[in-house]
Chains A and B, each alone.
Chain A
Amino acid sequence: MISYVILGITFLYAVIQISIYASRRRKPLTRDDIDERLLAALNGGTGTRE
């Protein structure tokens, strides 16, 4: 019985991880997004100069 419980937990864990990966894959990040966010954070909201 214990082994089935552990297998169940393993199954749930794997499903959660796979769905996290799948959801992130649906909304992929681009390098431009990351760059813009970094510049905005470093320069007080203005990622790029006007």
Chain B
Amino acid sequence: MNKKRPVTFRPFKVPRYAYDKLRICRRCGRFTALGEERCSGCGRATLTSLEKQATAIAGRKMHTRLLLIVLLTLAAVYFGQSLQQMALCGAGGAVLAGALYYMQRKVRQNENLFALNELLGRNIDSIKEGLEINRQEAVAVLREDDVLAYEKLREISILLRGDRISRQRVALLHGFQLRKDMNLELEQLLLKDFEPLLAEYIGEIAKIRPELIKDRTLRYVKNYEAQILEMDKGETILISVAGAAVRLKRYALLYSGLIGRYIQDLPKDRFLRLSRLISASPYEPWNGLDLKVAEVREAKYRWDPEF
């Protein structure tokens, strides 16, 4: 019986930089990667992006430095013993303040990045702590709303890329009915060791979104081929993956061994694709795959006009 539930995920866009996902509470300094409006620590709506915070810090530092020059200049003028001395100190201070202000304007963008780097470096432990709290929040809602839990884990995984989060996400995805129109990912979910749920997920992705089957996934499948074969529908998974691999000539060449082992059972369209790839480049090192294709074509599709 199929226990998978049809679900809909909220739209999700991967930010260009991972730190774009982080926000900091201006009040209590807690970090979060989730999209909540209020800080989970102090409950106030004072969450701001790290870039904004870094820009504010850099701006404050620059203003302080400029202000110090102005104050020192004023002190120099105050202690002047003659009008000439006072004018000289005032003019000198103004030139120095002007020079610093000019330089600050020129380096503003760069200083913002230095401030951001410093903010992240100084608070790395707080960031880790904030992300762990986020992860616990995701786990806490798991029983009531597994879709929400998945969405939260998906956001955290932009920053935390360990196997622990990936394993939890794969386990959650196992309960959902996957569709072509869903915002799915695969490479980010690959684990270091073998996981049957992940192998099942790869098999499903190979059927509905073969374009997501790339080098790292094919390497994973190749490495754990024996374990996948021991699974209930292991062979079906491997056939789907082999079918997805013939999408590109590069994959067909690199994983010719894997494809060759399941060539007998490839669906007709995938076999036709492979056959055309080989016919278009007969002198490539196909590692015996061309011969296997010829055999299968002879045995199964001898009278098929498409071949």
Chain A interfacial positions (CB closer than 8 Å to B): 1-4, 6-7, 9-11, 13-14, 17-18, 21-22, 24-25, 28-35, 37-39, 41-44, 46, 49-50
Contacts and interface: CB of A to CB of B under 8 A. Distances in A.
A18 to B, nearest CB: 5
Nearest to A39: B18
Interface of B: 17-19, 65, 68-69, 72-73, 75-81, 85-86, 88-89, 92-93, 96-97, 99-100, 103-104, 106-107, 110-111, 113-114, 116-117, 120-121, 124, 127-128, 131, 159-162, 187-188, 190, 216
5 contacts: A3-B75, A6-B89, A31-B113, A38-B127, A42-B127
Contact of A28 (B88, B93, B100, B113): B113
Contacts of A37: 117, 120-121
Nearest to B73: A10
B80 to A, nearest CB: 4
Given A18-B100, A35-B18, A49-B188, A43 B162 contact: yes
Contacts of A41: 120-121, 124
The majority secondary structure among interface residues of chain A is: helix
Contacts of A31: 17, 113
The majority secondary structure among interface residues of chain B is: helix
Given A3-B81, A31-B17, A49-B187, 4 more contacts: A3-B75, A9-B72, A24-B107, A24-B111
Contacts of B86: 3
A7 B190 CA distance: 63
Given A14-B99, A29-B117, A42 B131 contact: yes
A34 B117 contact: yes
B160 A42 contact: yes
A1 B188 CA distance: 68
Nearest to A26: B110
A21 B79 contact: no
Given A21-B104, A38-B120, A13 B19 contact: no
B110 A4 contact: no
A21 B62 CA distance: 11
